[in-house]
């Protein structure tokens, strides 16, 4: 009887050790995850940016409204504040494809608070780096049609944002749809989900 009780006690002690080990492991994993999250965060400030963007393409043509909506979508994806203004300009064919459609952009983008290009004295915003792919393979034909637009976004629009680890390749051929001819991925600064966005004019 004494041996049976001793065996039961050993099993209880072993089970307790397993519980303690799992608990400590869970705490360690949570601490590591929190450390990683903290490392990925960065203090940033909203900084105004303006641009007159004129699209010049041979393979795909846009109406002024179509270009405005497309550019607005790209700007928001890159992390522009939601109060941005994108206005069609220089249109010669209202309602239809235009040879050189343009948009005037007024927006606020996040810049690292320590960056010399950031707006001084502006309230900091908790933010983090996020990898974005502007050429997702949801529709290879549509992506091929946007080859020239992505080229010009890389040249004129992307430099307005804080970016790092940019991956870019392009081989657009006028009047031809080249599957996989362009690729643009980059890490950009975006506000933390619960940080909120300070009010301000775009």
Per-residue pLDDT of 39-84, as tens digits, reads: 467 899 999 999 999 999 888 889 999 999 999 999 999 999 999 9
pLDDT recorded at residue 137: 62
Query: Is residue 19 a part of any domain in this protein?
Result: no
Domain assignment present for 11: no
- To 5 degrees, how large is the angle CA 60–CA 63–CA 64? 125
Task: Specify the pLDDT at position 40.
Answer: 63
Number of domains in the chain: 1
Residue 6 located in a structural domain: no
Q: Please give the residue range of the domain that contains residue 85.
A: 42-191
Domain-located, residue 104: yes
User: What's the pTM value of the predicted model, to 2 decimals?
Assistant: 0.71
148 inside domain: yes
Structure tokens given for 143 = 């992506």
Q: Is residue 12 part of a domain?
A: no
Determine, yes or no, domain membership for 28. no
- Stretches where the chain sits below pLDDT 70 are 1-40, 120-121, 136-143, 175, 194-202
pLDDT on residue 67? 94
Strand partners, 110: 46
Burial of 174 (0-12, 13-18, 19+ CB in 10 A): exposed
pLDDT at position 123 is 86
62, part of any domain: yes
Distance CA 133, CA 187 (A): 9
């Amino acid at each position: 009887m004494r041996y049976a009780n001793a065996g039961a006690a050993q099993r209880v002690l072993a089970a307790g050790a397993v519980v303690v080990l799992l608990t400590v492991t869970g705490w360690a994993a949570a601490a590591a995850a929190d450390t990683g999250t903290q490392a990925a965060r960065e203090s940033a400030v909203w900084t105004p940016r303006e641009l007159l963007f004129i699209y010049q393409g041979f393979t795909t043509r846009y109406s002024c409204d179509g270009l405005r909506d497309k550019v607005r979508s790209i700007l928001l994806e890159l992390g522009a504040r939601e109060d941005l203004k994108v206005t069609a300009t220089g249109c010669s064919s209202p309602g239809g494809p235009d040879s050189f459609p343009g948009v005037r952009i007024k927006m606020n983008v996040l810049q690292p608070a320590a960056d010399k290009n950031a707006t001084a004295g502006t309230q900091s915003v908790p933010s983090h780096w996020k990898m974005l792919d502007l050429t997702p393979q949801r529709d290879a034909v549509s992506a091929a049609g946007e080859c020239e637009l992505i080229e010009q976004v890389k040249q004129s629009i992307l430099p307005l944002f804080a970016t790092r680890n940019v991956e870019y390749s392009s081989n657009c051929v006028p009047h031809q749809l080249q599957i996989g001819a362009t690729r643009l991925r980059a890490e950009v600064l975006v506000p933390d989900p619960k940080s909120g966005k300070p009010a301000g004019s775009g």
